[in-house]
Each structure stands twice: as structure tokens, then as C-alpha cells.
Amino acid sequence: MQPSLFLILILWIRSITCPTPPPSSFSLFQSYIRGHLDGRVEDASDLLPEYDFIIVGGGSAGAVLASRLSEIAGWTVLLLEAGGLETIFSDIPGLAKYLQLTDIDWQYQTEPQPGQCLALKDERCNWPRGKVIGGSSVLNYMLYVRGNKRDYDAWEKAGNYGWSFKDVLPYFIKSEDNRNPYLAKNKDYHGTGGLLTVQEAPYSTPLGTAFVQAGIELGYENVDANAQSQTGFMIPQGTVRGGSRCSTAKAFLRPARNRKNLHVALRAHAHRVLIDDQKQAYGVVFERGNKILRIRARKEVILSAGAIGSPQLLMLSGVGDPDHLQQVGITVKHSLPGVGQNLQDHISGRGMVYLINETVSYVETRFLNLPSVLNYIRHRGPLTALSGTEGLAWVRTKYADPNDDYPDMQLQFIAGSSVSDGGLSLKNNDNVKDSVWKEYYEPIAYRDSWQPIPIVLRPYSKGYLHLRSSDPYDKPLIYANYFTDERDIKVMIEGMKIGLALSKTEAFQRFGSTFYDKPFPGCDHLPLWTDEYWECFLRHYSTTLYHQAGTCKMGIPSVTPLAVVDPELRVYGIKGLRVVDASIMPDVVSGNTNAPTIMIAEKASDLIKETWISKENSMNEI
């Protein structure tokens, strides 16, 4: 059931069972609605013909950029967002899975390729991306993870000056308002008073604690992976505030909403960047309200449309591989073959289910009900949870250096599994074939369970995307290339084995944990529990963890093949054009990508300010 229908049903049930609701509950509900509506971003009705900066994409990066650049009162900023406003339902952390495949999701899919997504319909993996102000920070599972220090040091070693961990850490801290006093007192790594609220979910099951205890039994430490060391197990923190989602729209744009120099245009679908014969970006063409508009940029156009949208826009604008552009009928403005290449994603193994004999997990029939809604408006209860994610771990498989704090595997612990909702949403979100669901999962539908999702942190397999056509409304062709490098499948198999080891610990045996050992459809001809079987299992049911990156790679051309932007995120060969989002990552970070994307935007804002304030000061001196 979609969340809107669910809440309407709940309110209707309440109206007939409690015609005169207690004032406290009714006033709390009114307060919750006001809290959602108050301070929302306004859709600008009258746009100027020209702005200093035009930002394309109001997501995790674009919202930050718009907020920070509009701090300079003398600069005008236009933020273009293809989607609309956040909804009451997207604010509810526990309903995150219901946001996919709706109108706030771009609903991308990968192209069928051998050896990947085999248990999914048409052998395509769904790739949800936020089409809404706040972008994927409105659609995601809200986990606040920075990655490993060595990720950023590697960026700098590749020639990207200013991107070492010591350089980027201040930008993580700048954004952060960490509400955990124990973690926040570590001032070397955490911040308070920033615009982005970070805290633990108000609600959790006993399984989250069991996960951390199980890790300790296996010899790992309970760590704050966003501080000194990453290897270990932890209770996650998320971008939540008072039990509700804290998207970048809420965190960064709402405080800036009254600035006269910031205009936000919603449901504005960008078609291309305007580039003149001198290779100067000077504006954007977009459609809004059934009208094609052209608005000029005095200083810069900044693409923050994400790892899919930004390279797509560059190619639509004539910047990319000239052979491909000519094939789809686009005039080449500048040859830049790296656009759309270097596509990376954290592939995750989704299929394993561990059953337990206690009623403590997130079974849909137990928490999607009236008491949960009433608890939620009081900032507590299961709807405040991070959609079931109650633990994170970074572990070293046998392929990683055992003496180095550079784990190659992440485990995302779910206090439930794909059977917890009986196939109502998670099955469709992952695009699982009906036959696979019926044969493998349906017999255990609604059973109490848990799931350790193994994630290859630094994939060797890299994909690419191409334009389907020159039509800006056509979704691009996405070739994920999952598991095309055998090293990735080997690491993932070890992650599956770690999940089995966790299940056997005392921490989980207290719940009677057992692995659901029915042979997986399509793999039942192989010897069970061998590496060959696990490889088959993973090639059938592994999919995205929503961490696409790298398609407008940052680098120095002499060192980094296929670099698209320089270390100040300026597009090579085109003046007045930058890319600021996860697409600039040379290599995807060792963890969830939302916090690093926000960091990239924070740093980019300072780079842009330094550039133009310096130019303006020079002009004033003349």
C-alpha cells in the first residue's frame, strides 16, 4: 500500500473509531502538519532573465550550493529542480521504501547484461534517484557515513590538490550538527551547530544491539566509523531531526528561503547548457509550465544533477565523446570522452534471509498501523527508524590487508528482510521476478527475520552511460557492468560468509537465528554453500545500494585518463561551467555517498566564492 493511501486509511479509521479525538493527539497531529508546511521552499513565479549563478539540480549537492552561494548578498542565484516539493510522507523515515517508483523517483533502470541482475524482471536493476527538491536525500535511507580517510588521500595523490582527508574533514564538520553528546565531544571529527542534523534514530529493535555484540564476538570493535578508525561495528547515525528526515532541502534551503537573491524554480526540466563558439557556458535551456525558457548566467552554470543527470546534460549540451554524440545527432561543442565513463556503484547482495523465533523485527503488519502513526507524531516509535537499518560494519575479507584500517567490505544490517512486507514494496523496488518471489520468498512471507547486506566498497568493475537519443526526456542507457571484474564477486562471496558467521554468534542465537537455506532458483543445480553456489546466488540477486558515482571524474588529464573536471570542479575545455555532485568522485568512497556529496558541495561553494570574490576585488582595484 502506498504511504498516502495508508495514512488516509489510518485517519479515516480514527475518524470513525474516535469521533472526538483527545485534544492532545489532535493538537500533536496539527502541530506535525504545521511543522512540515512551515518554512517550505517557495517556487519562484517570476524569474529574472539573468543570474550570476544557475545551479541545475536541487538535490544533495545543489541545495547546499544554492544556500551557500546566496550567502553573498550581491550575487543572484537560480536553482533549477526537475521535481517538486517534499511530501509529508517523505518526511517519515520508516516509509522510505514506499518512495521508490513514485513521481519523486526518476525510476532509472540498468540495461540487461550477462551475469548480473538475473533474478530481476527483464534482468534489469532498478536505480532510484530523487526527482524532488532535496534530491536523493529525500529518497534515501538517511545513513550518515563519510567513507575512509584513505579514499580522499588517494584522490589527492592522483593530482587532485586540496582533496586529502585533512582538507575535506573541515567541510564534513562545517555541515554537521551532531546530537549525540558522546560523539560530539570529539571535536577533531564532529561538529555541532551546523545546518545538517545528524543523530541516531529514536527507535530501534533489540536486533541492532545484537549485531554490534555479534561483531565484538567475531573480534571487531564497536567504533564511530566517522572518526579515528573505520574498521568495526556501530549503531548508525542518520540525517534525521526529531524523528523526521532531515533532507538537504530542509537543512540548507529552508534557512535561506527568505533571501531575495535566491530563486528556486521547481518542475523545471533542464534540456541543455548554452555554450557559445568560444566555448563559454552562458546559460541554460529548460522547460517549465509547458514553456521553453532560456536564462543567462553572468558568472557560472553549475551542474548538480547527480551521477546520471550531470553527464547526461553535458552530452545533451555537446560535451562528451564526439563519436557517440554524432551517433545520436548532437552537435559537438567540445570533445571530452570521459563524460559518462567511470560509472561506479556499490553493488549489494540482497537475497539472504535469516529467520528468528522472536517477534522483534520490522514486520509490516506490526508497525504500519494507527498506534505507530500516533507514536510518530510524538517523535517516537518504529516509523522514526531508519527504514530498518540498525547496524553498519566495515570488515576486512581475506583479500584485504589485515593490518590496515582499510576494509574492503561493508555490511548494512537490516532488522528485517525482503519478506517483512510480504512482497508489497521491497519486491517491486528491487524488481524481483514474480516467479522468484513465489518460489523462494513467499513461503516465509511476514516471518520475523534479519538481513546482513554485503557491499563491495571499492569495486573494480566500472560501467558507463550513453544517451538513448537527443531527447532530454529520454532516460540514458545505463550499463552497470556489475561483476565484470572477478575480484568484486570474490570479495562479495566473503561477505556472504561473514553473514553466516554472524548468525552463529551467541548474540543472534539468543533469537534462534537460522539461515533460510532453501536453494535459490537458478542455482539449485550447484553444490550448496560452495563459492560457485554463492557466486550464482549473487549474480542472480544483487542490486544497487544507490551510490552511483564517478561519471564526471575529477583529475589531471596527464595522470587521470578520462578526467572531466579539474580539482576545482571546472569542466575541461568549457569556461564558466562546473560539476558539483557525486559524479566528480575519481573513485567511489568506502561507504554511503550522501554525506560525501554534501561535503563536495560545501567545499565547492568555497572554491567558487574564492574565485569570484578575488575577481571582483581585482576589478575594484582597477
Is 190 designated active site? no
Do 596 and 585 touch, CB atoms closer than 8 A? Answer: yes
Look at the alpha carbons of 207, 213, 214, 215 in this order and tell me if their dihedral is positive or negative.
positive
* Euclidean distance between CA atoms 23 and 459, whole angstroms: 54
Burial of 31 (0-12, 13-18, 19+ CB in 10 A): exposed
* Euclidean distance between CA atoms 431 and 533, whole angstroms: 22
* Euclidean distance between CA atoms 310 and 300, whole angstroms: 15
* Euclidean distance between CA atoms 563 and 559, whole angstroms: 9
* Euclidean distance between CA atoms 284 and 40, whole angstroms: 25
* Euclidean distance between CA atoms 143 and 236, whole angstroms: 7
* Euclidean distance between CA atoms 147 and 394, whole angstroms: 10
* Euclidean distance between CA atoms 102 and 599, whole angstroms: 28
What are the backbone angles phi and psi of residue 247, rounded to the nearest 5°?
-75, 170
Do 483 and 538 touch, CB atoms closer than 8 A? Answer: yes
The answer to whether 360 is a known ligand-binding residue is: no
State in Å, rounded, how far the first CA of the chain is from the last one: 65
Do 431 and 126 touch, CB atoms closer than 8 A? Answer: yes
CB burial string 553-573: b at 16+ within 10 A, e below? bbbeeeebebbbbbbbbbbbe
Name the residue with cell 550581491. Answer: 74
CA distances from 592 to 101, 348, 352, 494, 574 (A): 21, 12, 21, 20, 31
DSSP string of 245-275? E--HIIIIIGGGTT-TTEEEESSEEEEEEEE
Q: Which of 271, 346, 466, 547 is catalytic?
A: 547
CA distances from 132 to 45, 80, 104, 262, 620 (A): 18, 11, 5, 18, 40
| Residues with active-site annotation | 547
Would you list which residues are annotated within the binding site for FAD?
132
**Known binding residues:** 132
